[in-house]
Amino acid sequence: MKKAEKVQFIMDKLEALYPETPVPLDHKDPYTLLVAVLLSAQCTDVRVNQTTPALFARADTPQHMMQVPVDDIREIIKPCGLSPRKSKAISELSRILVEDYGGEVPASFEALEALPGVGHKTASVVMSQAFGVPTFPVDTHIHRLLYRWGLSTGKNVVQTEKDAKRLFPREKWNKLHLQIIFFGREYCPARGHDPHACPICRVVGRKTLFA
C-alpha cells in the first residue's frame, strides 16, 4: 500500500469511527481550556476533568485566579500531579494575561509559548480548539500511532508533527488529531496492543508489528 493510500484509508476509517470529535477537556472559554491543557501534562483527561470543577469554582478567570494563593491552587490540583510547578505556572500566567493582554488569552503561538508552563503542544491545542487555527498537536498517542502506521520515523514529536502536517490535508488537522487520540485510547494502546485486531494496524501497520 502506497503512503497516499495509507493516509486516505486512515482518514476514512477514523471518520467512520469518530464522525464527532468533542474536545476531551471540559472548559467554557479559552482561559479555562488553557488551564485544563496545562494540567493535562503527564495526567489523564479524565483526572483533569475531575479536578477542574473545584478549581474553576474558586476562580475561572485570570483576574480571579491571580488573587488565589499559589498554595491553595496547588492543593486543589494535587491529583493532577506536578502540582508545585503547575500551580505556580497557573498563577503567573494569569497575572501576565491580566497585565499584558487585558485578561484575554492571546491567539498567537508566540505569545502563548511565552507564558509560564505553556509549551508548543499546549499552545497548539489552544490555538486549535479555542481559536480554530489549523494545528496538529502531537501527544503520546499521535506520536505512537504515526510510527506504527509507517507515517513517521518516530524519532521525536517535532518530526512527527512535521510528518503529520505534510501528509494530511490542512483543513482536516484539527479534527484528525482528536480522532487519532480517540483511536489510540480505544484500539491502539501502548501496552497490550494486538495489531491483528486493530482496525488500522492490521491494514497499514509496520511489518515489525507482526513479527
Place of cell 496545562: 38
Q: Which residues of the chain have pLDDT under 50?
A: 210-211
The reply to whether 3-21+136-210 and 30-129 are identical in fold is: no
Architecture of domain 3-21+136-210: Orthogonal Bundle (1.10)
What CATH class does 30-129 carry? mainly alpha
Could you report the per-residue pLDDT of 150-162, keeping only the tens digit for each? 999 878 999 999 9
What pLDDT, on a 0 to 100 scale, did the predictor assign at position 211?
A: 38
78 is catalytic: no
Is 121 a known active-site residue?
Answer: yes
- DSSP string computed for the chain: --HHHHHHHHHHHHHHH-S----SS--SSHHHHHHHHHHTTTS-HHHHHHHHHHHHHH--SHHHHTTS-HHHHHHHHGGGS-HHHHHHHHHHHHHHHHHHHTTPPPS-HHHHHTSTT--HHHHHHHHHHTT--------HHHHHHHHHTTSS--S-HHHHHHHHHHHS-GGGHHHHHHHHHHHHHHT--SSS--TTT-TTHHHH--GGGG-
pTM for this predicted structure = 0.92
| Domain assignments of the chain as residue spans, ordered by start | 3-21+136-210, 30-129
Q: What is the pLDDT of residue 139?
A: 87
Q: Which of 139, 163, 194, 207 is catalytic?
A: 139
pLDDT value of residue 208: 52
| pLDDT reported for residue 1 | 83
